[in-house]
Structure 1
Amino acid sequence: MDVLYLTLSNPELHSTGIYADLLNALVERGHKLTIVYADGEAEKTFLTEEKGVRILTVKVGRQFGVSFFQKGKNLLLLEPKMKRAVKKYFRKEKFNLVLYATPPITFGKVVKYCKKQFGSLNYLMLKDIFPQNAVDIGLIKERSLIHKIFSKKEKELYRASTFIGCMSKANAEYIQKHHPEISKKKIEIFPNTMKVPPYIEKEALHIQTEKLGVPKGAVVFVFGGNMGKPQALEFLINGVRTMEGYKKAYFLFVGKGSEEGWVKENIKRRTNAAFIPFLPPREYQCLMEECHVGIISLDARFTIPNYPSRTLAYMSMAMPILATIDRTTDLWGLIEAEAGCGLCSVTGDLTSFEKNVRYLAENKDVRIQMGARGRQYLEENFHVSRSIAILESHFPKKRK
């Protein structure tokens, strides 16, 4: 296949993650890959090549580190810039597959152009259901002008997509229920996957955690990744505060995002927790290897079924999961029933949160068993080869 991948994020093919792993796997399968990357920091639009992969960096407005209003404005301006860039650099070429994910939802006109110009199959990897997620947590008012604009963009993107790959069954059911105009034939399950690295059993090291002042013998619960409004960090910090007298558990918050300043400010007064800013991948990995339980947190107000990709990262490290989530997500079924790799409670329920923390902190054998089950489930269900097989199934004659 000749694949055109549209993205807001730096592809960073040398790194790991659900997107980098997928792109590298496509190349390893012998498919030709071209990436169009919308860069809010770029001074100009330019084309480069990295290990046989062409990367067109498009100068656009900033998407990160700006106000919500500015981000929305830049998202709307993003679409014509991306379309012009694709038209200028690739209009004489042919692509079998155009691949893209949400966010953003403002690629509708771009992928519509691609389908007309290249005769491509347009595949949407639905990772974010916007603008409803923003409505759920109060960032956008329902039926406001901005909501109507982005709802129109959402429908436009769905129409322009040949297939919509949903992360889970609940995701697919949500789209079918709220967008009945979409044919069921174009909706399928396309889960988050990764290139599963060989498992290396953890050594009992405490180099990083000792530097942070983690008490010896404490079980380390780690929240790693994006710190934004959807992660319900206020509840987590409140949970940390209520457990300050419980010495068997220690909490680490590692990452960056719109709420990192608030987290840092509220963590510094706690004796059972620490905040660590964004770390380079290798340092982050070393720190994670010294932690015992991974935390997943979602705002209780969500009516859309989220499926955080950090779940896979914890599974990969055979780390049990402590989830405080909404009632809509089907993470409940994954974590407690299908994989049996952790414990869940509803965000806002401090009693259940504390109960789950204590249980995991005081039962080492259970933690080890849950971690092992999560790792096995990952290997059997979320290997990147599954994503490649789904994409290639739409091109039976192109299969290698």
Structure 2
Amino acid sequence: MNILFLTLVKINDVAERNIYTDLIRVFSNNGHQVCIVSPVERRYKKPTAVFTSGNVRILNVKTLNIQKTNFLEKGIGTLLVEKQFEKAIKKHYSQIKFDLVLYSTPPITFTNVVKFIKNRDKAVSYLLLKDIFPQNAVDLDMIKKDGILHRFFKQKEKQLYDISDYIGCMSPANVRFITDHNAVDPKKIEVNPNSIEPLEINVSDEEKKHIKADYNIPLDAVTFIYGGNLGKPQGIDFLINVLKTNAGRKGLFFVIIGQGTEYPKLHAWVTSNKADNVLLLQSLPKKDYDVLLSSCDVGLIFLDKRFTIPNFPSRLLSYLENKMPVLAATDSNTDVGEVITENNIGIWCLSGNIDEFNEALLYLQINSAARHTMGTNGYDFMLKNYLVEQSYQTIMKHLKNV
């Protein structure tokens, strides 16, 4: 079976580890021919190019900057990417008849390129819904509700849902939100959560000490790590309040790694306050990040409390993979808190409630047995619910006759 995968994630090597490449490898390992279309943003100063990675063909299409850039360029780039992808597919994949077109949000502007493949090849279309736009932008006051931009992108959203034969949502709350707020046939919507191909990670206490020493992390400190985007969706003001109210606290250390529009704000606070129990890094090579993550004790998740859409952060998976308990501060509409608390894999509180968060922080700091139990529970839960093979089977059940 020939599969076309459209994504805004930059993919150079199918051996990379993320929720998309892990899924692509499963398709490839099961004998399917996979062709990827992904952007190479103008910041990289590279032309459109096609190359092979393993058994997978990758088409990197030159685009404007779409990720981690200002709102204007991101908006224009997102609008242009559909035409750019379609033009590149016609040029480089014209001889391939696709059976399945697989694509994720963001963006919501893939409708025409999906329609082109469906009409040309009679392909089945499957949307991996990872982002509910434009409502998330309305929630964060980035665009005005019922304004021109909101109405325009709402129409784009409707078109994308309509063109999709199936929609895989990250969680039950996502399924409910889509069916409650859109005229979409419930029969084509299902739960298909973020998933990974986990690695067996075994790091000895002695190895953890060496890793911590490499980053000047106190060896006796319980280390709380956040790795991911540092933008408006994360509610950075609350994160800064967490660091502020725990400044100088002995036996406690924060590692924060990520890029995004709010990084300068966070960096300015850490620098001006000379925070000695915080390590802030803008980026690390993936292998180095994985090593550092394996030496930490608790994984952090932050979401802005204003969200009405049920985000479900994929970074949860890396924490569970490392058998780490999770401390999450989010809005009340996501069901990630339910997953965390009902399965005893960590502690959840409402974003903005600093007293409750710090109480949970202290509990996890002083209770090593609880950290161990939650970490083990989380790893077991991941094996039962978040394996990429399960996502593959969820998609393939719709293609038995292809």
Measured against the shorter chain, the TM-score band is: over 0.9
User: Deviations along 1:177-227, whole A, 9 cap, x unmatched?
Assistant: 000x21111111111110011242542422343344433311110111111
Q: Aligned match of 2:294 in 280, 283, 289?
A: 289
**Match in the other structure for 1:17:** 18
**Match in the other structure for 2:194:** 192
> What does 1:271-286 correspond to in 2, within 5 Å?
271-286=276-291
Q: Aligned match of 2:370 in 359, 366, 379?
A: 366
Aligned equivalents of 1:25 and 1:147: distance in 2? 37
Deviation at 1:393, TM superposition (A): 0.5
Q: Aligned match of 1:133 in 132, 136, 139?
A: 136
CA RMSD of superposed structures (Å): 1.5
Aligned equivalents of 1:342 and 1:202: distance in 2? 22
> What does 1:158-237 correspond to in 2, within 5 Å?
158-179=161-182, 181-204=183-206, 205-237=208-240
Deviation at 1:62, TM superposition (A): 1.6
Aligned equivalents of 1:95 and 1:124: distance in 2? 15
Q: Which moved more, 1:348-357 or 1:147-156?
A: 147-156
Deviation at 1:142, TM superposition (A): 1.1
Deviation at 1:46, TM superposition (A): 2.6
Residues 1:315 and 2:320 aligned together = yes
User: Deviations along 1:208-262, whole A, 9 cap, x unmatched?
Assistant: 4334443331111011111111111210111111122431211111121222222
Aligned equivalents of 1:121 and 1:183: distance in 2? 16
Q: Which moved more, 1:322-331 or 1:6-15?
A: 6-15
CA contact (8 A) 2:201 2:294 kept: no
Residue 210 of structure 1: SS of its match in structure 2? helix
Q: Which moved more, 1:258-267 or 1:377-386?
A: 258-267
User: Deviations along 1:254-313, whole A, 9 cap, x unmatched?
Assistant: 121222222112123222212112000111111112110000000000000000000010
Deviation at 1:92, TM superposition (A): 4.0
Aligned equivalents of 1:288 and 1:281: distance in 2? 10
Q: Which moved more, 1:133-142 or 1:200-209?
A: 200-209
**Match in the other structure for 2:120:** 117
Aligned equivalents of 2:345 and 2:379: distance in 1? 8
**Match in the other structure for 2:62:** 59
Q: Structure 1 pair 65/176, CA: closer, same or farther in 2 (3 Å)?
A: closer
Aligned equivalents of 1:141 and 1:209: distance in 2? 45
Q: TM-score, normalised by structure 2?
A: 0.95
Residue 223 of structure 1: SS of its match in structure 2? strand
CA contact (8 A) 2:51 2:58 kept: yes
CA contact (8 A) 2:170 2:192 kept: yes
CA contact (8 A) 1:91 1:117 kept: no
Q: Structure 1 pair 211/69, CA: closer, same or farther in 2 (3 Å)?
A: same
For 2:348, the aligned partner's letter is C
Residues 1:99 and 2:90 aligned together = no
Residue 296 of structure 1: SS of its match in structure 2? strand
Unaligned runs of 5+ in 2: none
Deviation at 1:148, TM superposition (A): 1.6
Aligned residues: 396
Deviation at 1:9, TM superposition (A): 1.5
For 1:17, the aligned partner's letter is N
CA contact (8 A) 1:255 1:277 kept: yes
Aligned equivalents of 1:246 and 1:67: distance in 2? 36
> What does 1:67-82 correspond to in 2, within 5 Å?
67-82=70-85
Q: Aligned match of 2:386 in 371, 382, 388?
A: 382
For 1:188, the aligned partner's letter is E
Unaligned runs of 5+ in 1: none
Q: TM-score, normalised by structure 1?
A: 0.96
Deviation at 1:397, TM superposition (A): 4.2
**Match in the other structure for 1:299:** 304
